[in-house]
Amino acid sequence: MPPAAAPTKTLVKRRPTRPHHRRSALTAWAFLAPLVLYLALFYVYPLYRNVELSLRDYTVRSFVQNDAPFAGLQNYGEVFQDATFGPALRNTLIFTLCSIVAQYIIGLALAVFFNRNFRLSATLRALFLVPWLLPLIVSASTWSWMLNSESGVVNYLLRAVGGDNVNWLTSPEWSLTAVVIANIWIGIPFNLVILYSGLQNIPAELYEAAALDGAGLWQSFRRVTFPLLRPVTAITLLLGFVYTLKVFDLIWIMTKGGPGSSSTTLATWSYQLGFGSMLPHFGPGAAVGNLLIVIALAFGLLHIHTQRRQEA
């Protein structure tokens, strides 16, 4: 090949592609624009505002006039030193972990149960979805009536079998348990649906093979079902974690995080700070909200990391 020909050739080749390139880049941006705009408007800007809120020292006056002085990490320091921080963090972890573990176990048990496709199983499965379909305000109010110390049906049953009244919503020992129970009930359908569809994807031949090899019910669950469900399990637990971490309405409706701070989580505390009293503390409220985002993000990254390792 003559050496002079090469540049000419590339030149010839490049020339028509340039406008082409520009045009296709434009096209690409045109397609991206709605999404980028949407992300910027509804994700980036609110997030930026929340970070900004948490870094300024807001009073009602400076909030209205938008001239709050920059305060650095002062709001975060205030939050960490607050007497509510310890209990709120502890409650958030207990609430989240107990909820997702119980939801997962019960959801998996029900999914395995319904996977056997007996008569009426579809109807029953549909009925199990009810907690998911009800508006949260309805289910949370119903739970708080059921758990009422005086007139609640749960205490009525306890007394009927000779037990003692339990102050579910009004004693510091029980209030967190009460909201965890209600939240487990609400989360079961989600786990059931996802795990059930995961089970449907496990080929029946594997069970046949396991049965031929002499595996019993428990062994085929432990050695076939459970390992093959692992990816579905991982995503169910992660989504469950993120959802549960930020549960607010259920707790607020049932106990308002009380009595005292015995069922306060970071989510309810953030709301309490920002909107719960007549004198809003926007700065610390935003700081607590950001902490929640960081925790959720950390677990999200952990999930991506482990998934990558599994794939590699």
Partner 1 sequence: MSTPRTARAVTGTVLAVTLLTPLAACSDGASGNASSAKAGTYSFWDPYPQFDASSPWGKRVTACGAQADVKIKRTPMDTTDLANKALLAGQQDNLPDVMLVDNPAVSTLAEAGILAKAADAGLKTTGIQKNILDAGTVDDEPYGVPIGANTLALYYNTDVLKKAKVDPAAVTDWKSLTAALAEVEAAGSKGITFSATKSEEGSFQFLPWFWGAGAELTDIDSPAAVSALTLWKDWLDEGYAPNSVISNTQTTSWQEFATGDFAFAENGTWQLANAEKAGFEYGVISIPAVESGPAPVPTGGEFVTVPVQSDTGRYRTTTKIVNCLINGKNLLATDTTLSYIAPTARVQDQQVRENAGLQAWVDAVAAARGRTSGGMNTDYPVVSEQMWTAVQAALSGAQSPKAALEAAQQAARSKTGN
Q: For residues 48 and 246, give the distance between their C-alpha atoms in angstroms, rounded to a whole number.
A: 19
DSSP reduced 3-state for 298: helix
Distance of CA 16 to the CA centre of its chain: 51
Binder to partner 1 among 113, 185, 223, 280 (CB under 8 A)?
A: 280
Rg (CA), the chain: 27
Residues 230-259 contacting partner 1, CB under 8 A: 255-259
Binder to partner 1 among 5, 30, 161, 217 (CB under 8 A)?
A: 30
Binder to partner 1 among 50, 51, 57, 63 (CB under 8 A)?
A: 63
For residue 176, state whether it binds partner 1 (rule: CB under 8 A). Answer: no
Binder to partner 1 among 6, 37, 105, 304 (CB under 8 A)?
A: 37
- Select the span of 93-101, 122-130, 163-171, 201-209 touching partner 1 (CB under 8 A): 163-171
For residue 169, state whether it binds partner 1 (rule: CB under 8 A). Answer: yes
Q: Are 182 and 143 in contact (CB under 8 A)?
A: yes
Residue among 240, 231, 249 nearest 190 (CA) = 240
Give the relative orientation of helices 282-311 and 74-81 as an angle to the nearest 10 degrees: 90
- Select the span of 103-111, 213-221, 230-238, 276-284 touching partner 1 (CB under 8 A): 276-284
Binder to partner 1 among 120, 212, 279, 294 (CB under 8 A)?
A: 279
Q: Are 210 and 219 in contact (CB under 8 A)?
A: yes
Helix, strand, coil proportions of the chain in percent (round to 5)? 75, 0, 25
Contacting residues toward partner 1, per CB under 8 A: 20, 23-24, 26-27, 30-31, 33-34, 37, 59-61, 63-66, 83, 144, 148-151, 165, 167, 169-172, 255-262, 275-280
